[in-house]
Amino acid sequence: MAIADIEKSDPEVAAVVRKELERQRNGLELIPSENFASPAVMAAVGSVLTNKYSEGYPHKRYYGGNEFIDQVEDIAIERAKKIFGVEHVNVQPYSGSPANFAVYMAVCEKGDTVTGLNLVDGGHLTHGWKVSAGAIFFNSVPYHVRPDGYIDFDNVREIARKHKPKLIWCGATAYPREFPFKEFGEIADEVGAYLVADIAHISGLVAAGVHPSPVPYAHIVTTTTHKTLRGPRGGMIMVTKKGIEKDPDLPAKIDKAVFPGLQGGPHDHVTAGIAVALKEAMQPEFREYAEQIVKNSRALASALADEGMKLVTGGSDNHLLLIDLTPFGKGKGLFAQEALDLAGMTVNKNTIPAEPASPFYPSGVRLGTPAVTTRGMKEEEMKLIGKWMADVIKEAVKYEMPDDREKRKDAIALFRKEIAENSVVKETRQKVLELCKRFPLYPDLE
């Protein structure tokens, strides 16, 4: 991608792209679902493949002129099958949520019972949260985590045995520990349910062998391609050998659910980006990268704990951390997020298990290490980042979120005015800038 090319056609948009590039270069991206794709991946996404329409599947298209598109999609499929050890792969989902909805459409009838981790406990919106299609069209009975933040398997078994769900989701958006796929597989088999492992967050770790694979235990595996896998913004649905043994028609049902069930023509430029990312994931250095993500996550957890921060489950097994701010009061996630943002550290406010406030004004902060690891940062840098984060958070949590909703607007306005002038935040911002200069991002992207 050359910003100069955009500038010739649209200086206004080019200026915004340059601003975003500078924001990424000069800050620490710590949202665990974000990463930096390689120049090769970005070039594929910005290629001439964006010009083509290709409804259907390789060698079975509704449009002509797809002989090279077929090759690209075949390459992506074969690489995914090899990396993850699965029997069937669909690389056409536009992202993770469409992929998950396609799974519902493939294996469930309207009104069937499904179960997934409750959103407030760290689950994903598409796993049956009350406002999503997974709960609107299906009978969603969510399971929970224990008080210590780990999945409550007594609760999972009780729900499975009582409600006999058609589908069980294993996966999350804010769970800092290793996913126990084997235990989920045993429960699914006991009640005859489909087990779907959503590995959107950890697919890069699974690909590198740094996190156990769900493939021996799950029937279906879904993932995004832009998080730890470090590809473009897309999705994949994989059917395992166990899935085909349960239903030999499952691959065909998945494909039909994606197209024509939910989507039209695939985004061929994104398919090419996925293929490139998968090739990168097959290299020895990718395993080193994935191992470093976990090392960095643990080092960052240790640094935060040393500074008095409470972590959900006490630490991390993967790329993700969840800070519990309730020792400072409830509903302070927004304050922490915005203060950290001003200091050049991008995180996201997040609910914690047994959230005492609300999803919009939650009591936690979610962060992770994929993007800073891509920049080459290691344990020593995590120690610095953990100290800086704690310093800023301690300033942010001095502010209170009123219980009275009518008073929140004024409280937030006052916070924003004062935190922008906070000396600790300003000093930390300079430290972050200096660190970022030591680890340049996209130096040739102009």
Residues involved in catalysis: 53, 55, 198, 224, 227, 233
Residue type present at position 90: N
Are 45 and 273 contacting, i.e. CB atoms less than 8 angstroms apart?
yes
Q: Annotate 235-247 with b (16+ C-beta within 10 A) or e (fewer).
A: bbbbbbebbbebe
Which DSSP state fits 110? Answer: T
* Contact of 6 with 17, CB cutoff 8 Å: yes
Output the CA–CA distances (angstroms, integers) from residue 104 to 214, 324, 377, 406, 410, in the order listed. Answer: 19, 33, 39, 40, 43
Which phi and psi angles does 423 have, rounded to 5°?
-65, -35
End-to-end CA distance of the chain: 8
Question: Which residue, among 387, 419, 422, has the nearest Cα to 308 in the 3D structure?
Answer: 387
Q: Check if the beta carbon of residue 332 is closer than 8 Å to that of residue 324.
A: no
Report the C-alpha gap between 5 and 238 in whole angstroms.
37
Beta strands in 156-290 (DSSP E): 167-170, 194-198, 220-224, 235-239
Q: Which two tokens stand for residue 368?
A: 């992770």
Q: Is the dihedral of CA 420, 424, 427, 433 positive or negative?
A: negative
Identify the burial level of 45 via C-beta atoms within 10 angstroms of its C-beta, where 0-12 means exposed, 13-18 middle and 19 or more buried. Answer: buried
